[in-house]
Amino acid sequence: MIASFQDGGAPILRILHGFEGFHVEDEKIVQNGIQYKIKGAGYLRVYLKKDGTVSIDTSQIKPQYRADLLKAIGMNLRKIDPASWQELKQAVARYQGEIHSLGNAEIVKTTGLTLIYDGNALTILQLSNKVPKEIFQMIESVTSTPLDSLSLLESFANMKEETALNVARKLCGFEEPTVDAAIQRWVLNQSIADPKYILPAIGSDEAGKGDLFGPVVVAAVYVGVKEYSKLSKLGIRDSKSLSDEKVLKLSQNICSICSHSVHVIESTALKRGEMNHQLERTHFECISEVLTKEDSLVIVFDDFGSKNLTHSFPGRRVFGFKDGERNFAVASASIVARAEFLKYLQSISEKYDFQIPTGSGEKAMQAARRFVSKFGPEEFKKIAKITFSNARRLLLQ
């Protein structure tokens, strides 16, 4: 998702940089958005949401390209006033630009460039290097860079605590008791829609949900000014893009610095058709435990299809995102959860003197067949997710 800031009533210009190493083969208008065909990678969709924000859907991009694609379309935040938008739109239109309406939004397209303006914010997708220099020069001349929460966290980390608190209170306009709470209040006032910029926060995520063997592990982690300053240079990101060795090392760092909670749902406790309900309850428990240590106004989780979690903490804002791991606290939680899951599999492997793999593909199924042959179906039921159809079919053989 892409950030949607407000600053003094001025819409925000958001630039997505060119797709380094990617080539756009085709683009077309789809319901509520635009679809781009990325050569060799799949389809990227940009949706205009009812709340005026813009979201980016990478679900149809091949998994091995998602991280690089998200990195390639990293963004800068800029302010632009409505009059400057009209001027910029007309400038782009002069280069054989097309102007479309999509709901309450305007879309302006020309070679290598798409602008989406929803009345409150402007998103620019730069899809090639063929965009006229005049356009970029104009962008530089009519826009300015606003504050973002990550820059604030870095700035406050270098201040004395009393100074930081006074500055943070002036920034948000509230007499909050801590620097973290003041920044959170400022973040909430900005209507930010990109999880990357929703900090400080408690983040929660799970691991093991898609693996045949082992439990589902849920973790929650709090990241504020102090925590971010210690962890931001360590390469923390979604655990799925890290090696097992890196996950285990980073988890140690995170747990030694951040307030956190970890809960394990044993595979024997998982029930068919109730996964989301069980995840919802366990996320709630982990977040609640962290709240006993950190009075966070903001909670972010990687959305697994939850229906109730966003309404479960009165007086606090809870955000669920499909790409929640873009949030530093959620990414930290994903690493802690994954590390606990890996350690659990290691303990099972040692118990049975049998290497238990991750995943649920053919490698996992081959291991499952060997395990059942060696130890029997009852032992298999103790360590595998019988909620998986391939596990049930194996037991019927």
Question: In b/e form, how buried is each residue of 210-226, taking b as 16+ CB within 10 angstroms?
Answer: ebbbbbbbbbbbbbbbb
Q: Does residue 295 register a pLDDT over 90? A: yes
Whole-angstrom distance, CA of residue 169 vs CA of residue 165: 6
Predicted local confidence at residue 104, as pLDDT: 64
Each residue's pLDDT tens digit, 46-58: 776 554 455 667 7
pLDDT of 71 reads: 54
Cα–Cα separations (whole angstroms), residue 43 to 24, 25, 30, 330, 351 = 9, 10, 12, 25, 44
Helices 328-352 and 244-257, axial angle in degrees (round to 10): 120
Q: Please report the pLDDT score of residue 15 as a whole number.
A: 47
Q: Is the pLDDT of residue 116 over 80?
A: no
Helix 133-142 with 82-93: angle, nearest 10 deg: 180
Global pTM value: 0.67
Ranges for all domains in the chain classified under CATH 3.30.420.10: 192-397
Q: Give ∠ CA 20-141-89 in degrees, rounded to 5.
A: 75
The chain-wide mean pLDDT, for the chain, equals: 84
Confidence check: pLDDT of 378 > 70:
yes
Of all residues in the chain, the percent with pLDDT exceeding 90 is 47
Q: Which fold has domain 192-397?
A: Nucleotidyltransferase; domain 5 (3.30.420)
Least confident range from 48-52, 112-116, 229-233, 355-359: namely 48-52
C-alpha 20/C-alpha 81 separation (Å) is 29
pLDDT at 32 over 50: yes
The 10 Å Cβ neighbour count of residue 335 is 31
Q: Is the pLDDT of residue 65 over 80?
A: no
β-strands 298-302, 317-321 pairing? parallel
Give the per-residue pLDDT at 41: 86
